């Protein structure tokens, strides 16, 4: 698949790669000596997946609604694990984030001849933070999200082929 | 974006949908002449494409975790470095 929409190659890709390599190094350092239990493997897979998501979201920073939503989700998950009280604080931040993206939101779900509300809702489930986006934002964010996902896939795909 | 008003104009909507359509590989094959795949179709394709991409990242992460488990640490390093250098 050709790539006419590549983001600035020196920034997003390299930021993502740098962060992800760093995270991977940390994960490798945690690797126990005998690690073939399926639980361990699953846990490591989860950690890698989270690291990939995190690296991507941090590389995009808060310039996008979806990356903000993803960062919030990741942070609140780790807060909840360490300290249940901070979860409440993150909740407030989340409301602020959501408010920012939804103040143009009043007529999201009109069904006056716009026959694709279902599909739009389905898309909202897939894109992080989508539930709060109006249609305009949703389409815009989705385009950017797709670009980032394809970047991730491109970077990962040589894995395991060696 | 249409920050001032609450409504999205049809033109803006069409423009966004079209742009999304150009990102979808399935729609680009052999349909160059057609200006309009229907909005519904584009949205549906978008959903399945996003799902596919997310699943691909999942699978690749899983492969990577198996790599870390079974391979030499240095060779998975080399793979990444090669990858990085190619960018």
B51 pLDDT more than 50: yes
Are B66 and A160 in contact, with CB atoms under 8 Å apart?
yes
**pLDDT band at residue B70 using 50, 70 and 90 as cut-offs:** low
Instruction: Please indicate, yes or no, if residue A4 is contained in any of the structural domains.
Output: no
Instruction: Please indicate, yes or no, if residue A122 is contained in any of the structural domains.
Output: no
Low-confidence ranges of chain A (pLDDT < 50): 1-6, 86-92, 101-113, 162
- Give A-chain residues touching B53 at CB under 8 angstroms: 146, 149-150, 152-153
Q: Quote the CA–CA distance of B83 and A114 in Å, as a whole number.
A: 45
B63 interfacial to chain A (CB closer than 8 Å): yes
Parse chain B into domains and list their residue ranges: 10-86
Instruction: Please indicate, yes or no, if residue A153 is contained in any of the structural domains.
Output: yes
Instruction: Please indicate, yes or no, if residue A104 is contained in any of the structural domains.
Output: no
- What residue of A is the nearest CA neighbor of B56? A153
Q: Which class is B10-86 in CATH?
A: few secondary structures
Residue A143, domain extent? 9-82+131-161
Instruction: Please indicate, yes or no, if residue A3 is contained in any of the structural domains.
Output: no
Quote the pTM value.
0.73
Task: Give how many domains chain A has, as a whole number.
Answer: 1
- What residue of A is the nearest CA neighbor of B42? A119
Instruction: Please indicate, yes or no, if residue A141 is contained in any of the structural domains.
Output: yes
Determine the length of chain A: 162
Instruction: Please indicate, yes or no, if residue A92 is contained in any of the structural domains.
Output: no
Strand blocks (E) in chain A: none
| Residue whose token pair is 């698949």 | A1
Q: Quote the CA–CA distance of B32 and A3 in Å, as a whole number.
A: 17
Q: pLDDT of B4-44, one tens digit each?
A: 454 668 888 888 888 888 888 876 555 554 555 688 888 88
| Residue whose token pair is 């094959």 | B29
Instruction: Please indicate, yes or no, if residue A62 is contained in any of the structural domains.
Output: yes
Are A148 and B20 in contact, with CB atoms under 8 Å apart?
no
């Amino acid at each position: 698949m050709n790539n006419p929409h590549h983001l600035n190659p020196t920034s997003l890709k390299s930021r993502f790669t740098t962060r992800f390599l760093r995270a991977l190094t940390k994960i490798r350092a945690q690797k126990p000596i005998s690690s073939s239990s399926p639980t361990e493997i699953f846990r490591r897979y989860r950690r890698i997946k989270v690291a990939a998501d995190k690296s991507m979201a941090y590389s995009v920073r808060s310039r996008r609604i979806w990356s903000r939503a993803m960062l919030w989700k990741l942070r609140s998950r780790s807060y909840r694990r360490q300290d249940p009280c901070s979860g409440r604080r993150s909740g407030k931040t989340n409301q602020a984030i959501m408010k920012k993206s939804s103040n143009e939101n009043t007529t999201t779900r009109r069904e006056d001849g716009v026959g694709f509300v279902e599909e739009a809702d389905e898309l909202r489930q897939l894109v992080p933070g989508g539930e709060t986006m109006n249609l305009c934002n949703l389409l815009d964010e989705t385009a950017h999200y797709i670009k980032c996902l394809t970047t991730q896939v491109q970077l990962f795909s040589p894995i395991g082929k060696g | 974006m249409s920050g001032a008003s609450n409504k999205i104009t049809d033109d803006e909507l069409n423009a966004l949908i079209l742009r999304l359509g150009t990102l979808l590989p399935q729609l680009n094959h052999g349909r160059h002449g057609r200006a309009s795949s229907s909005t519904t179709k584009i949205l549906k394709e978008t959903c399945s494409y996003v799902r596919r991409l997310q699943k691909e990242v999942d699978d690749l992460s899983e492969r990577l975790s198996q790599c870390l488990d079974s391979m030499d640490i240095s060779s998975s390093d080399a793979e990444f470095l090669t990858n990085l250098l190619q960018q």
